[in-house]
């Protein structure tokens, strides 16, 4: 038997005849709780209602005399989901306020059991596949008949997150919220040392703050710095304090130069110098360095010398690093035997092959064949392979030649080490993270906390974790921590279509009180997109989760795009002033790029933004 007084029974059955009236049904919003935009509720007089633009509106039900409204089965599903939603909210609120919550969990189990008996699991999913007749690409579609009617409710995915659903067997079992405490007030930190206080400050503020550490320890800032010792360093570049793992990583050769200059003026930075010297990467030997034609760190002058010494020809080379472009003037190689026989072919001389090597091109030689009144180009396989062999010969000779001169070897090895072998990877440690607001039913692994701290500290991060390593919860924790620290205002999570429901459920399973907005391409139909984007812009969301196919409907502001193009135009104008007078190829290429940008700029000046853009929505990550 069900315990008495713990569940108030089923909602009143909606009377379809109510839809016969022409008058707009009005009702008062429930007074016992905050009702959010889009929420469904049941009114004793008007039946199923929904909050639209802040006002309660009766939900129209489709019947035999009208095709408007939603099917009657959808009404029954929504009515069964409403008590689940309210019970979930009651459990979370009771636990958050540290009030008794067991009775609310009983209500939740009763409401959930009633729903499952009537309709099956909340997350029941029907999987279907379709094949594109042109590309033969197979697309998998997931339909959720028990969630679809409730999608407009802002707590839809919170309701979906309460059960552990198995897609293969189409079965579900109650999640942790049915029996456990998932929300608990944070425990007060235990601080017995400066290291403890540093961990607390990193968790609370995301950065090193010696003044706040001193407040926690009730001591002077100088004492804090002395006790922490080599755990923190002051960066002479901007005066900020950093943890050792942050300061002693990254471009450490550059950091050492800055520290040495600072130490010459202030002896306090001598410890920075000593610490940075210890972490300097060992120089790579020439035998460890691949010196290929076209590498941007090899000066054009060295390549000119190579051609002079190996082919006996005087040439000119122009290199524009900003465009990764090399042009070669080597007419002499077009008639010399060295250019057309030893190092090239009669159809692709050594100068042309050198340009191919520098620009990472593969030579192709075509013959022109007459086909009636028309001409067509056909690849000459024999001549193309001959040119490829000569190209490889030039590349191999260059790699052998480049290290033959001791002075050149020392110079180029130094350039390579200073430019590329100057980074020390940072070892991130997220052990100090407490993740306030996260469900106590989950404990993140060490690799997940390291990833969360890396995202907080570094921003853009590639999570190259294996399937099943917990990337979704890592991203959810990173978003919520950045929101808590004030580093971001609103995040957008873009996921594959088949992962949308899973990501939303896992996000809310870890953070049950998170405010998320979930949308796929169906939410961007002509009659829905304005309302969805308005909701996204006007409400305070922790995260907006959308599919890749839906993301294409959100644009960037025309003004932003215009400024990007204008900045690129200015860069090309600057590059034109640097192009040598006789480098006609680079000059023509820059002019073509400029014309293309001007056409894009002209098109943007007449474009109108019909929908809200990503900046107007307020997304900043």
**What's the distance, CA 262 to chain centroid?**
37
- Establish if 1 belongs to a structural domain: no
What is the pLDDT of the chain when averaged over all its residues? 86
State the number of CA atoms in the 13 A half-sphere of 142 facing the CB.
18
- The span from the CA of 592 to the CA of 610, in Å, is 31
Q: How many CA atoms lie within 13 A of 370 on its CB side?
A: 2
Mean pLDDT of 426-445: 89
Structure tokens, 272: 């920075």
- pTM (two decimals): 0.76
217-240 average pLDDT score = 92
In a domain, 188, yes or no: no
- Decide: 327 and 318 in contact? Cβ < 8 Å: yes
Pair 359, 328 in one domain? yes
Same domain, 112 and 156: yes
Residue 14 phi/psi, 5-degree rounding, is -70, 130
pLDDT at 580 over 80: no
* pLDDT confidence bin for 205, thresholds 50/70/90: confident
Least confident of 274-283, 447-456, 537-546: 537-546
> What are the respective helix, strand and coil percentages of the chain, to the nearest 5?
50, 15, 40
Tell me, yes or no, whether 154 and 62 share the same domain. Answer: yes
Would you say residue 359 lies in a domain? yes
List, in sequence order, every residue forming a beta bridge with 242; answer none if it has no partner: 233
Q: Are residues 547 and 562 in the same domain?
A: no
526, pLDDT greater than 70:
no
Query: What is the DSSP pairing of strand 241-243 with strand 232-234?
Result: antiparallel
**18-27 CB contacts, 8 Å cutoff, 24+ apart:** 18/46, 18/47, 18/58, 19/58, 19/60, 19/61, 19/63, 19/66, 19/69, 24/57, 24/58, 25/49, 25/57, 25/58, 26/56, 27/56, 27/58
415 found inside a domain: yes
Is 440 contained in some domain? no
Residue 8, pLDDT > 50, answer no
pLDDT tens digits, 274-288: 999 999 999 999 999
Residue 210: pLDDT band (50, 70, 90) is very high
Query: Do 140 and 226 sit in the same domain of this protein?
Result: no
The Cα–Cα gap between 300 and 285 comes to 22
**More confident of the two residues 383 and 619:** 383
The set of long-range contacts for 96-99, using a CB threshold of 8 Å and a minimum separation of 24, is 96/183, 96/185, 96/513, 98/185
How sure is the predictor about 81, in pLDDT bands with cuts at 50, 70 and 90?
very high
- Quickly state the pLDDT bin for 15 (edges 50, 70, 90): very low
**Number of residues that this document lists for the chain:** 621
**Strand, coil or helix: what is 359?**
coil
Residue 69 has pLDDT above 60, yes or no: yes
436 assigned to some structural domain: no
pLDDT at 14: 40
Give the pLDDT mean for 83-96: 92
- End of a domain among 551, 578, 600? 551
What percent of the chain is predicted at pLDDT more than 90? Answer: 45
* Structural domain ending residue among the three candidates 367, 402, 420: 420
Q: Which two tokens stand for residue 194?
A: 């400066």
The range of the structural domain enclosing residue 468 comes to: 446-551
The last residue of one of the domains, among 219, 244, 278, is 278
Output the pLDDT for position 606.
67
Check residue 33 and give its pLDDT. Answer: 60
Does any domain span residue 73?
yes
| Distance (Å, whole) CA 592 – CA 601 | 14
Structural domains in the chain (count): 5
Same domain, yes or no: 413 and 460: no
- For range 342-349, the mean pLDDT: 92
Does residue 2 surpass a pLDDT of 50?
no
The span from the CA of 199 to the CA of 219, in Å, is 17
In a domain, 2, yes or no: no
| 23 pLDDT above the threshold of 60 | no
Confidence of residue 11 (pLDDT cuts 50, 70, 90): very low
Query: Within this chain, do residues 300 and 412 fall inside the same structural domain, yes or no?
Result: yes
Pair (541, 469) in one structural domain: yes
Give yes or no for residue 345 having a pLDDT over 50: yes
Return the pLDDT at 10. 44
Which runs of E-coded beta strand occur in 178-300?
232-234, 241-243, 250-251
**136, 33: one domain:** yes
> Which region among 30-34, 356-360, 411-415, 472-476 has the lowest average model confidence (pLDDT)?
30-34
Q: Say whether both 488 and 604 belong to one domain.
A: no
- From residue 418, alpha-carbon distances to 273, 278, 324, 481, 584 in Å are 17, 16, 20, 36, 33
pLDDT reported for residue 20: 42
Looking at the fold, whether 161 and 210 belong to one and the same domain comes out as no
| Percent of the chain topping pLDDT 70 | 92
Checking if the pLDDT of 22 tops 80, the result is: no
**CATH number, residue 511:** 3.40.50.10810
536 band by pLDDT with thresholds 50, 70 and 90: confident
Q: Of 10 and 486, which is predicted with more confidence?
A: 486
Return the CATH number at 201: 1.10.10
- Classify residue 336 by its DSSP letter: S
The answer on 268 and 317 residing in a single domain is no
Q: C-alpha distances in angstroms, 481 versus 240, 484, 491?
A: 22, 5, 11
Out of 344-358, 376-390, 418-432, 521-535, least confident range: 521-535
pLDDT at 458 over 70: yes
Sorting pLDDT into bands at 50, 70 and 90, what band is 608? low
Tell me: pLDDT of 88 over 50. yes
């Amino acid at each position: 038997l069900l315990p008495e007084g713990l569940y108030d029974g089923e909602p009143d059955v909606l009377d379809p005849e109510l839809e016969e009236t022409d008058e707009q049904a009005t009702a008062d919003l429930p007074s016992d709780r905050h009702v959010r935009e889009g929420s469904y509720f049941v009114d004793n007089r008007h039946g199923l209602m929904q909050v639209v633009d802040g006002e309660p509106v009766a939900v129209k039900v489709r019947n035999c005399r009208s095709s408007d409204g939603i099917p009657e089965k959808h009404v029954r599903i929504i009515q069964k989901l409403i008590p689940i939603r309210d019970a979930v909210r009651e459990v979370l609120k009771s636990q958050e306020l540290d009030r008794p919550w067991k009775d609310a969990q009983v209500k939740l189990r009763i409401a959930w059991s009633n729903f499952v008996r009537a309709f099956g699991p909340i997350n029941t999913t029907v999987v279907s596949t379709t094949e594109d007749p042109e590309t033969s690409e197979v697309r998998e579609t997931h339909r959720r008949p028990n969630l679809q009617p409730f999608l407009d409710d802002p707590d839809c995915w919170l309701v979906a997150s309460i059960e552990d659903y198995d897609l293969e067997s189409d079965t579900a079992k109650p999640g942790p919220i049915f029996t456990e405490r998932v929300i608990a007030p944070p425990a007060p930190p235990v601080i017995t040392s400066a290291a403890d206080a540093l961990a607390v400050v990193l968790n609370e503020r995301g950065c090193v703050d010696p003044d706040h550490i001193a407040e926690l320890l009730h001591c002077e800032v100088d004492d804090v710095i002395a006790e922490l010792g080599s755990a923190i360093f002051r960066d002479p570049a901007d005066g900020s304090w950093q943890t050792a793992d942050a300061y002693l990583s990254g471009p450490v050769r550059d950091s050492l130069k800055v520290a040495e200059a600072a130490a010459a003026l202030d002896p306090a930075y001598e410890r920075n110098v000593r610490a940075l010297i210890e972490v300097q990467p060992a120089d790579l030997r020439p035998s460890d360095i691949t010196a290929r034609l076209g590498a941007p760190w090899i000066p054009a002058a060295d390549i000119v010398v190579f051609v002079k010494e190996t082919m006996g020809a005087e040439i000119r080379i122009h290199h524009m690093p900003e465009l990764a472009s090399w042009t070669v003037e080597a007419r002499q190689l077009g008639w010399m035997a060295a250019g057309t026989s030893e190092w090239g072919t009669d159809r692709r001389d050594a100068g042309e092959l050198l340009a191919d090597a520098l620009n990472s091109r593969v030579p192709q030689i075509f013959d022109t064949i007459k086909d009636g009144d028309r001409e067509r180009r056909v690849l000459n396989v024999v001549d193309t392979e001959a040119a490829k062999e000569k190209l490889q010969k030039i590349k191999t000779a260059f790699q052998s030649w480049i290290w033959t001169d001791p002075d050149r070897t020392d110079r180029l090895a130094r350039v390579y080490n200073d430019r590329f072998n100057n980074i020390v990877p940072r070892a991130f440690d997220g052990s100090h993270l407490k993740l306030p607001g996260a469900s106590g039913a989950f404990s993140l692994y060490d690799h997940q906390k390291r990833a969360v701290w890396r995202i907080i500290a570094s921003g853009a991060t590639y999570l190259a974790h294996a399937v099943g390593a917990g990337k979704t919860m890592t991203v959810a924790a990173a978003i919520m921590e950045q929101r808590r620290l004030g580093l971001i205002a609103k995040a957008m999570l873009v996921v594959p279509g088949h992962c949308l429901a899973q990501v939303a459920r896992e996000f809310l399973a870890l953070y049950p009180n998170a405010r998320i907005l979930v949308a796929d391409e169906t939410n961007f139909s002509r009659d829905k997109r304005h309302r969805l984007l308005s909701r996204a812009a006007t409400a305070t969301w922790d995260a907006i989760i959308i599919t890749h196919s839906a993301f294409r409907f959100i644009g960037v502001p025309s003004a932003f795009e215009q400024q990007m193009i204008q900045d690129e135009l200015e860069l090309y104008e600057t590059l034109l002033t640097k192009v040598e007078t006789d480098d006609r190829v680079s000059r023509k290429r820059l002019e073509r790029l400029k014309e293309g940008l001007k056409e894009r700029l002209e098109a943007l000046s007449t474009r109108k933004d019909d929908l809200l853009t990503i900046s107007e929505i307020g997304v900043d990550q």
